Amino acid sequence: MTRPLPSVCVYCGSRAGARLAYVQAARDTGTMLAARGWRLVYGAGDVGLMGEVARAAQTAGGATFGVIPEHLFPREVGKRDLTTFVVTENMHERKKVMFMNSNAIVVLPGGAGSLDELFEVLTWRQIGLHRKPILILNTDGYWEPLRAMLDQIVAEGFADPSLQDMLIWAPDVATLERELATALG
């Protein structure tokens, strides 16, 4: 019996962002996932950081699993040439399919959608619905305001300090790779 391919869900922006470092980190992440034999699970868009991570994984010979809701197909330019391409009815279904088909979650720079996805899986982890590792790629310190906000939440008594232990912070893709390798066993 063959062991299923480890899969890493990547949440990231449908825009490229203001710094070239974000685009490079997305490309490096896609290349790294493919080199390690880990399947990319992501939002199936062909724009922004989503498109960068997917094209890099494909170029490096990696497996890709994309999930897009039908209403975002035109906006995010659904990438049909993926190994697996799933169209869902809505965002809730998209997030569920992505989560259920992954062994770990990685968050690259992104906007409100990436935060929504992160906080949903973080909340699920906090209330004991899963134990999947959640990693934050903190490219050029992009997520430092988020880290400060989480510190504030704990300091003000709205969460236990264990909340901070549920996230693994990586300043670069090399660290991300090491942390993922440890987390995925």
Quick check: 69 and 94 in contact, CB under 8 A?
A: yes
* Local structure of residue 45 (DSSP, 8 states): B
pLDDT at 3: 64
Specify if 2 maps to a domain.
no
Quick check: 57 and 31 in contact, CB under 8 A?
A: yes
Helices (H), the chain: 20-36, 48-59, 73-76, 91-100, 112-126, 144-155, 162-165, 173-184
Q: How many domains does the chain have?
A: 1
Bigger pLDDT: 143 vs 77: 143
Q: Which of 23-27, 76-80, 150-154, 175-179 has the lowest mean pLDDT?
A: 76-80
Which pLDDT band, with edges at 50, 70 and 90, does 76 fall under?
confident
pLDDT at 35: 98
Specify if 156 maps to a domain.
yes
Specify if 96 maps to a domain.
yes
- Please give the average per-residue pLDDT across 167-180, as a whole number: 98
> Which residues on adjacent β-strands are paired with residue 168?
135
What are the tens digits of pLDDT across the range 32-61? 999 999 999 999 999 999 999 999 999 999
**Angle made by CA atoms 40, 57, 175, in degrees to the nearest 5:** 75
Helix (H, G, I), strand (E, B) or coil at 64: strand
Judged against a pLDDT cut of 80, whether residue 74 lies above it is answered with no
pLDDT at 78: 82
Q: Identity (one letter) of the amino acid at 48?
A: G
| Domain assignment of residue 143, given as a range | 7-184
Residue of 47, 62, 42 whose CA lies nearest to 108: 42
**Angle made by CA atoms 114, 23, 89, in degrees to the nearest 5:** 35
Give the CATH number, domain containing residue 143. Answer: 3.40.50.450
Model-level pTM? 0.95
Specify if 72 maps to a domain.
yes
Specify if 45 maps to a domain.
yes
